[in-house]
Amino acid sequence: MEFNHMEYRYPSRREAIFAKNGMVCTSQPLAAQAGLDILKQGGNAVDAAVATAAAMTVLEPTSNGIGGDAFALVWLERKKELLGLNASGKTPRLINADKVRKSGCKEMPVRGWLPVMVPGAPSAWAEMTEKYGCLTLEENLEPAIRYAKEGYPVTPVIAGLWNAAFELFGKIRREEQDTDWLEPWFHHFAPEGHAPKAGEIWKSGDMEETLKKIAGTGARDFYIGELACKIDEFSRRTGGYLRKEDLEGYWCEWVKPIHIGYRDYEVWEIPPNGDGIIALMALNILKNFEFESDGRESAETCHRQLEAMKLAFADGTRYVADTKSMTVTAAELLSGSYGRMRSRLIGKTAGTPNAGDPRSGGTIYLCTADREGNMVSFIQSNFNGFGSGVVVPGTGISLQNRGCAFTLDGKSENCLGPEKKAFHTIIPGFLTKGGEAVGPFGVMGAFMQPQGHVQVLMNMIDFKLNPQEALDAPRWQWIKDKKVQVEPLFPKELAKQLSARGHEVEAVESAVSFGRGEMILKDKNGVYCGAAEPRAGGHVAAW
């Protein structure tokens, strides 16, 4: 990819960063620096990704944790090969939709034990290090262990998210019964009776010891050892379904990434159960239209993007699930003929999307690159902020709540069942051109993620913005039906024009809800260009 180094076509809040030896981008500066230190110690992009990811569980616990899930796209330069890693966990063997309905729930709850699934992130750290790293897992987790032991000053963005969780969990504790499962969260994350303020030092001896066990055993202790026993005991004692047997039967798996051709590039995502396919479906529709390079802020462009996104989400929410339950294939959903057919449904005014039939035709993101040309796109999440709110006593393990993405509708492919993967919103992205790596990219933020992928990619490919400009540009977010939210700097005149086309446009003050992204792209001379999200404390560490 060629970058416009000098002239900024869009008002940008910061400049992109250039380097040739290595780069790490993520939303927490200390974590990015930890990954860069690993590169300087002789680690490669895989080692840097693992080190950064582990550090993020300590440095940004409001979005991910040791008990979270992860996905990765790994580019191996010597082999010119892109690998996918699915480290999303499965549901416990003892749970099903009938049991949840009998407990009084009409839909999957967001907090507590019911949405907790087997965590996959620790297995991802171990698997990636063992297969493709240059260093040991002990070396890669050393920065995380050090920050857990010595502490660090909390950043303003994280302090705000932490306090919001403190207030939410406090409300649950006051208003609901049987909240024994929630008490360890307060003991661990608010030991002084409040969330840490910006600049306040926070540390965790429990996380230090847990990370040491994971590092020393290749994560096996988490799944078959003392940590697994502690998870099992707390689950049994406080009404959970997760058991040691569920942990023993799990390990992450390598998968074949899926892609489409878009203009002169290939856009890659992790296959279902992840919803990266939604971004690909939207681009597969949009590539049937021509866009002028200066047309990014035209009503016609934005309208087509929104309508394509709606159609892609309609199909994604209908069909994407655990692959064992899917009634259509990724290839069918991404076929050129189906994309053309769906594109013909886009008219001049806003529509309400419905799924078609292709057979008839809280999260952190990071990316790394090393001097050899290896690159990693990595995403890790507890889902909703701190996740389920369940923290295993004495461990610092905050468990994800990914199971809340299941439905209790027995007719749905994504209905809750035992040993099943849920519809997943965390999606790492990767861009190639002619068989050569261009680089990793990602945008965090639940169902904003595929929408962020589409907007950022089109900003670069169709509208010729450089990576930092592409991230800075104001975004829209489709919510449901004809409802669209736009962030504060979104052009007011464009919002009026979209309203005239039938879109129900709402301006939202918080920019955080529109995603937080990073990317590293390589130009034809082998120079890396890194960009980090201005909507958070994003940072590019390079040398």
> DSSP letters of 7-39?
--SS--SS--EEESSEEEEES-HHHHHHHHHHH
**Residue 355: CB partners within 8 Å, gap ≥ 6?**
314, 315, 317, 318, 319
* Contact predicate 445/513, CB 8 Å: yes
What is the reported pLDDT for 424?
A: 80
Distance from C-alpha of 346 to C-alpha of 363, rounded to nearest angstrom: 32
| Confidence (pLDDT) at 411 | 84
Q: What pLDDT does 322 receive?
A: 66
Burial of 170 (0-12, 13-18, 19+ CB in 10 A): middle
What is the distance between the alpha carbons of residues 31 and 49, in angstroms, rounded to a whole number?
A: 10
Q: How many CB atoms lie within 10 A of CB 425?
A: 22
Residue 496 burial class via C-beta count within 10 angstroms: exposed 0-12, middle 13-18, buried 19 and up: exposed
Side by side, the strands of the sheet bearing 476-480 are 476-480, 483-486, 504-507
- The single residue listed with the structure tokens 């999307």 is 353
Backbone angles phi, psi at 417, to 5 degrees: -160, 170
Of 368, 370, 339, the closest CA to residue 430 belongs to: 368
pLDDT of residue 422: 85
Per-residue pLDDT of the chain (543 residues; tens, 9 = 90+): 665 543 445 455 578 899 999 999 999 999 999 999 999 999 999 999 999 999 999 999 999 999 999 999 999 999 999 999 999 999 999 999 999 999 999 999 999 999 999 999 999 999 999 999 999 999 999 999 999 999 999 998 899 999 999 999 999 999 998 899 999 999 999 999 999 999 999 999 999 999 999 999 999 999 999 999 999 999 999 999 999 999 999 999 999 999 999 999 999 999 988 888 999 999 999 999 999 888 899 999 999 999 999 999 888 877 776 667 667 788 888 999 889 989 999 999 988 777 665 544 367 899 999 999 999 999 999 988 899 999 999 999 999 999 998 999 888 888 999 999 988 878 899 999 999 999 999 988 767 889 999 999 999 999 999 999 999 999 999 998 899 999 988 999 999 999 999 999 999 876 567 878 899 999 988 999 999 987 777 899 999
- Quick one: pLDDT at residue 361? 37
Q: Is residue 464 packed enough to be buried (19+ CB in 10 Å), middle (13-18) or exposed (0-12)?
A: middle
Q: Judge contact between 232 and 398, C-beta under 8 A.
A: no
- Residue 112 and residue 160: Cα distance in Å, rounded? 22
pLDDT given for residue 511 in this prediction: 56
For the entire predicted model, the pTM comes to: 0.92
- Whole-angstrom distance, CA of residue 337 vs CA of residue 308: 15
Q: pLDDT value at position 315?
A: 87
pLDDT at 2: 64
pLDDT at residue 359, as a whole number: 41
Which amino acid belongs to residue 491? P
Q: What is the pLDDT of residue 360?
A: 41
